[in-house]
Amino acid sequence: MDLAKKVLLGLQADDFRHPLDLEATTTLKQIPGLDVAIRSLLGSVAEEFFYVDNIAASVLVSDKQLPSIHQLLLDACKVLDLEPPQLYVKQNPVPNAYTFAMRGKKPFMVLHTSLIEILTPQEIQAVIAHELGHLKCEHGVYLTMANIMVLAANLLPVWGTVLAQSMQEQMLRWVRCAEFSCDRAALLATQDPKVVMSVLMKLAGGSPTLAPQLNLNAFIEQARDYDSFSQDSLGEMLKTAQTANLTHPVPVIRAREIDRWGSSFEYQNILSLRNDNGVKKDDVQGGWRNW
């Protein structure tokens, strides 16, 4: 583990949760019985399906299997103060990673081989930490519901009712907001904004041959250009229409958010309150204590 990184013992989700995530989560929690319904109706079925699929068609990472990736997981978990979930690597041509955590079996995450191929080890750790952010923020229940709603919208005509469409829009808005919190978790684990922004750049336009040629500074300038496009009502309308049905915010906006948060007092305060061993400074007693 990089000795320069600070371990964040006692880190809580609300220490870094993005305000939009908090707002959207609060809105979902106001829907009576939604949390219980998702756990009861979908949890066991989805859990068994993914578990069997992972065991049968993916590689379980461990100290004996892809040990370098396993160490990236352990180090990120140590920084974020989390128990390591299972990590699988799956052959897939679409660069992606995802997390599942409902109940019963151990939480797990999956990395696609095509994503690993375009990233450096530090960037792979940023992706792992992003997925750990879902666990830290306890996003698992609503993530499952959002994914199933997206699938149902494509398969079931009845899902086109006004009520169902409204629920889907709320879930998609929530999952986009949740991604901002998880990007912050990635920054806390890597403690280098450029690493996280580089991942986003490669997700936007990377490939095994193009990734080494990409220019991060130019990508950050691109994010600023995207911002300036909303100076008039037409630009804002087009941007809203572009993102309405997405499960993730567009990469340039995520990069902009990390660039801002990485230089914020809030982020610096999380790191500065701890020494190199992850122990929080005790301002009252003038010493150190476990947080």
Longest dimension (CA), the chain: 63
Q: Could you say which of 47, 123, 131, 179 is catalytic? A: 131
Q: Is 131 a catalytic residue?
A: yes
User: Where along the chain do its domains lie?
Assistant: 13-289
| pLDDT band with cut points at 50, 70 and 90 for residue 246 | low
Most confident of 91-105, 145-159, 253-267: 253-267
Between 211 and 143, the more confident residue is 211
| pLDDT band with cut points at 50, 70 and 90 for residue 285 | very low
| pLDDT band with cut points at 50, 70 and 90 for residue 230 | low
CA separation, residue 59 to residues 10, 113, 237 (Å): 31, 10, 44
**At residue 27, does pLDDT exceed 50?**
yes
Between 275 and 116, the more confident residue is 116
Q: Per mean pLDDT, which range of 40-54, 124-138, 190-204, 243-257 is the poorest?
A: 40-54
Mean pLDDT of the chain: 80
* pLDDT value, residue 214: 95
**At residue 291, does pLDDT exceed 60?**
no
Please tell me the number of Cα atoms within 13 Å of 255 on its side-chain side: 25
CB atoms within 10 A of CB 186: 28
Mean pLDDT of 27-40: 68
* pLDDT value, residue 123: 98
* pLDDT value, residue 130: 97
* pLDDT value, residue 149: 63
| pLDDT band with cut points at 50, 70 and 90 for residue 175 | confident
**At residue 168, does pLDDT exceed 60?**
yes
Mean pLDDT of 149-172: 56
Between 3 and 189, the more confident residue is 189
In this prediction, what percent of the chain has a pLDDT beyond 70?
Answer: 70
* pLDDT value, residue 16: 96
Mean pLDDT of 233-238: 49
In this prediction, what percent of the chain has a pLDDT beyond 90?
Answer: 46
pLDDT tens for 37-84 read: 666 656 566 667 777 888 889 999 999 999 999 999 999 999 999 999
* pLDDT value, residue 13: 94
Mean pLDDT of 181-210: 95
In the beta sheet, which residues pair with residue 111?
89, 97
| pLDDT band with cut points at 50, 70 and 90 for residue 238 | very low
